[in-house]
Amino acid sequence: MISSIFERTNPINYIILCVFISLFLIGGFFLYLEVPFTLEVLIKLFQSLIIIITSLFLIDFINRKNFLTKSNSFTLFFFVLIFCLFPKIFNQTNLLISNVFILMSFRRLVSIRSNRDIEIKIFDASLWVFVATFFYSWSLLFILLVFAGIFLYKKNDYRNLLIPFVALSVVLVLAFTFYYLTNHLEKFYSLVYFAPEFTIEKYEDIRYIIPLLFICVMGIWSTIAFFLRKQSKSFVTRVPGILIFLMLILAILVAIISESANTSEVIFSIFPLSIIIAKNVENIKKLWIKEIFLWSFIILPFIILFL
């Protein structure tokens, strides 16, 4: 039973998921994306793999430290499988890097609840968002999550509200200095680019619409179940839970207005969706329903890969 494997946090689970994502990454590059087999492509494939595995362990760290789910591997399971539903992401190195920085920002943000080094944590959370923006401009929207965290943790002293602007100044000064010294100042002015666009054509491709509809159905079902179950209400009242939902809302907004036209922009929604869906699976009592739920996530990526 697949559920019995991931209901625990055994090291073998990490190995299984890392091997799965590695094999699927290769398939995504050469079967789905149909890129040529060259040294340059192999290097990019290896880079993508390292970034994704880094994200995987970062998510595991965030989840364990903040008790977002119970002690199991379902969050990592869904993170990997949702990733595999959108193979276009594998080839978007900048998006992958940006997502890592957003995760690092979230990690620092939720740690504010310890009431230690609050100013430093707000600064770090803001800094990582601005760094992520250099790799993907729409990442800037996640600075709203930092301000939300400040208010939710009741740290909305005016000095704390100014810290994100200090972080922005630091990033801008360092970036300007670097490009000035390297005689590439024109690149500094084009680092951040916004061109809001809703491209309906990308949703006409069956390889895009099937995984999107699947994730929407599973996400909505899990969200409704999350709020209806009594044992879940204590979680949602905690700030990390609220921030997860706010992060998902911002990620959906990014996906809607982004100028990207290949569904890779859904990357920012994968982490919050993984948490929400994992919470739902934890509370499914009937084993056969849980098994069907999990196997649907395993089978669909292979169908998408060969469409």
Q: Which two tokens stand for residue 230?
A: 């009594």
The amino acid present at 203, given as its one-letter code, is Y
What pLDDT, on the 0 to 100 scale, is given for residue 99? 95
Q: What is the mean pLDDT of residues 137-163?
A: 89
What pLDDT, on the 0 to 100 scale, is given for residue 295? 92
Closest CA to 145 of 281, 280, 271, 278: 271
148: left (phi over 0), alpha (psi -120 to 50) or beta: alpha
Domain range enclosing 129: 2-305
Its sign, for the CA torsion 195, 201, 203, 206, is negative
Q: How far, CA to CA in Å, does 166 sit from each of 8, 124, 209, 295?
A: 42, 11, 41, 47
What pLDDT, on the 0 to 100 scale, is given for residue 203? 64
> How many domains is the chain built from?
1
Other C-beta atoms lying within 10 Å of the C-beta of residue 296: 12
| Radius of gyration of the CA atoms of the chain, in A | 20
pLDDT band at residue 182 under the 50/70/90 scheme: confident
pLDDT band at residue 144 under the 50/70/90 scheme: very high
- pLDDT score of 285 more than 80: yes
Its sign, for the CA torsion 254, 255, 258, 262, is positive
Q: What pTM did the predictor assign?
A: 0.91
What pLDDT, on the 0 to 100 scale, is given for residue 232? 46
Q: What is the mean pLDDT of residues 178-201?
A: 73
Angle subtended at Cα 133 by Cα 147 and Cα 79, rounded to the nearest 5 degrees: 80
- pLDDT score of 202 more than 70: no
196: left (phi over 0), alpha (psi -120 to 50) or beta: beta
Other C-beta atoms lying within 10 Å of the C-beta of residue 144: 15
Q: What is the mean pLDDT of residues 87-108?
A: 92
Tens digit of each residue's pLDDT (9 = 90 or more) over 226-278:
777 654 454 445 788 889 999 999 999 988 887 666 677 889 999 999 999 99
What pLDDT, on the 0 to 100 scale, is given for residue 197? 64
Its sign, for the CA torsion 215, 217, 223, 225, is negative
170-184, 202-216, 229-243, 265-279: the lowest-pLDDT one: 229-243
Alpha carbon dihedral 118, 122, 123, 125, in 10-degree steps, equals: 130
What pLDDT, on the 0 to 100 scale, is given for residue 235? 44
Higher pLDDT, 10 or 276: 276
pLDDT band at residue 74 under the 50/70/90 scheme: very high
Q: Which two tokens stand for residue 27?
A: 């398939």
pLDDT band at residue 126 under the 50/70/90 scheme: very high
282 Cβ partners below 8 Å, 6+ apart? 69, 70, 72, 74
Q: What is the mean pLDDT of residues 51-60?
A: 93
92-101, 103-112, 144-153, 207-216: the lowest-pLDDT one: 207-216
Q: Which two tokens stand for residue 216?
A: 């929407």
Q: What is the mean pLDDT of residues 281-295?
A: 88
What pLDDT, on the 0 to 100 scale, is given for residue 236? 42
139 within 8 A of 128, measured Cβ to Cβ: no
- pLDDT score of 18 more than 50: yes
